[in-house]
Amino acid sequence: SRGKIPTLPPRPLEENELVGTPVSPGVVIGPVRVLSRVEGSSIQPGEILVTKATDPGWTPLFLNARGVLLESGGTLQHG
């Protein structure tokens, strides 16, 4: 890769579709749960967690998450 992250060419998004730069292989489809803070929050098994950023305090929510989509982060972030 010579220091470059491979990406797919952009394509038109479908209604209510969210995309991001993957940090692991695979594709997930499912209902999303948009959260602005972790305190008092929960997600149901199979939901996709959508938030601005995470820190280690979010770890318990990852157990039920089918996927995580962050506004801020990168390919070396641990979620």
How many residues are there in the chain? 79
Positive or negative: CA dihedral 29, 35, 39, 44: negative
Active site residue 78: yes
Are the CB atoms for 67 and 28 separated by under 8 Å? yes
Of 2, 4, 11, 78, the active-site residue reads 78
Active-site residues: which are they?
78
